[in-house]
C-alpha cells in the first residue's frame, strides 16, 4: 500500500493581506514592549535606584534585547498562523465565486474545520444551492416548452399556445426579476 504524498502547507496564502496585519501586530507588540520598559525603568531612575553614569548593566540590556526579539518572533509566528485562518477562507471564497461566474452552480466550497469565516462561507454555499435550484427550475420550464412544441405535429392548438405562452411568461418574469436585482449599483463600490 502506497503512502499518501505529504502536502506542503502554505501559510502565506494572500501575502499582502497577511503581511499587512502581521506588521500591525508587530508594531503593537513593539510599542507594548517599549511602553513596558519605560514603565519599569522610569520609577527606577526617578527614585535614583539606577543612575545615568552607571546606566544599565550589560546582562539587563541583553535580557531586554532577547525579550524584544522573542516578542517579535512570537507575534510574527502567531500573526501568520492566525491570519492563515482568515486568508485561506477568503481565497476559497474568491475561487468559489469564480466557479459560480462560470455557471457551475452544483460545485461546493470547502474550507477547513479550523478556519474562520465559516458563517460567510456557509451562506456563500447556500447562494450556490439557490442558483442551482433556480437554474433547474428554468430548465424545467424550457423542457416543458420544448415538449409542447415538439409534440405538436401541426400548428399549435389554442390550448397549447396558451400553455407555451404561460410557460414563457413565467420564465421571462423570473429571469427579468433576477436581472433587476443584479443590476450593478453606481455607488463606486
Average pLDDT for the chain: 78
Residue 184's pLDDT band, with cuts at 50, 70 and 90, is: very low
Residues 8-17 as b/e (b if ≥16 CB within 10 A, e otherwise) read: eeeeebbeee
Question: Could you give the CA distance from residue 87 to residue 14 in angstroms, rounded to a whole number?
Answer: 6
Is residue 39 pLDDT above 50, yes or no? yes
User: Residue 183: its pLDDT value, please?
Assistant: 44
Instruction: For residue 46, name the pLDDT band (cuts at 50, 70, 90).
Output: confident
Whole-angstrom Cα distance, residue 86 to residue 33?
27
Q: How many CB atoms lie within 10 A of CB 88?
A: 20
pTM tops 0.85, yes or no: no
187 pLDDT above the threshold of 60: no
pLDDT band at 5 (very low <50, low <70, confident <90, very high): low
- The tens digit of pLDDT for each residue in 121-142 reads 888 888 888 888 887 888 788 7
Please classify residue 163 by burial: count the beta carbons closer than 10 Å to its beta carbon, then call 0-12 exposed, 13-18 middle and 19+ buried: middle
Q: What percent of the chain has pLDDT over 70?
A: 81
What pLDDT digit, counting tens, does each position of 95-113 carry?
A: 888 888 877 777 777 777 7
| For residue 8, pLDDT beyond 70 | no
> Which of 2-16, 144-158, 172-186 has the weakest average pLDDT?
172-186
Amino acid at each position: 500500500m502506497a503512502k499518501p504524498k505529504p502536502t506542503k502547507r502554505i501559510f502565506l496564502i494572500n501575502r499582502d493581506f497577511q503581511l499587512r496585519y502581521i506588521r500591525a501586530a508587530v508594531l503593537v507588540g513593539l510599542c507594548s514592549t517599549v511602553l513596558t520598559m519605560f514603565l519599569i525603568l522610569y520609577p527606577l531612575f526617578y527614585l535614583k535606584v539606577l543612575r545615568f553614569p552607571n546606566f544599565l548593566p550589560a546582562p539587563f540590556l541583553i535580557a531586554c534585547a532577547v525579550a524584544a526579539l522573542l516578542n517579535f518572533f512570537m507575534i510574527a509566528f502567531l500573526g501568520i498562523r492566525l491570519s492563515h485562518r482568515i486568508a485561506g477562507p477568503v481565497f476559497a471564497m474568491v475561487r468559489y465565486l469564480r466557479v459560480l461566474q462560470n455557471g457551475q452552480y452544483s460545485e461546493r466550497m470547502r474550507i477547513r474545520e479550523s478556519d474562520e469565516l465559516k458563517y460567510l462561507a456557509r451562506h456563500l454555499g447556500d447562494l450556490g444551492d439557490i442558483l442551482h435550484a433556480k437554474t433547474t427550475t428554468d430548465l424545467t420550464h424550457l423542457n416543458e416548452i420544448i415538449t409542447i412544441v415538439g409534440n405538436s405535429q401541426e400548428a399549435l392548438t389554442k390550448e397549447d399556445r396558451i400553455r407555451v405562452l404561460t410557460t414563457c411568461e413565467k420564465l421571462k418574469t423570473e429571469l427579468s426579476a433576477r436581472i433587476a436585482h443584479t443590476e450593478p449599483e453606481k455607488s463606486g463600490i
